[in-house]
Amino acid sequence: MINLSPETEALAARIAAAQKLPVDDAIRQALEAWARVAGVLPEPQKRRDQSPAAVARRKAALDETVAAFAAAPILDPRPISNIIDDLNAL
């Protein structure tokens, strides 16, 4: 338990009332904001755009990547054993 001065408790109560929040929530939000500024708390993740256009762009990018992987054996005509030998040499 943290003991706060009466002035701090009163300030927290005024802020909470202004935001129509419980005091605990108001204090937590303020602390989280300061923690982000100080680099102690990471930024919350942004929600992914679920619009049809954004989904289509992501699908197209994934299809392009899959196609590049699928074409990889064509880009290197050597037998797989030679490719693996080269990888093992690394």
Contact 41, 47 (CB under 8 A): no
Q: What is the pLDDT of residues 38-76, one digit of tens each?
A: 988 877 788 899 999 999 999 999 999 999 888 877 778
Using 50, 70 and 90 to split pLDDT, how confident is the model at 5? very high
**Please, which residues have CB within 8 angstroms of residue 24's CB and are 6 or more apart in sequence?**
none
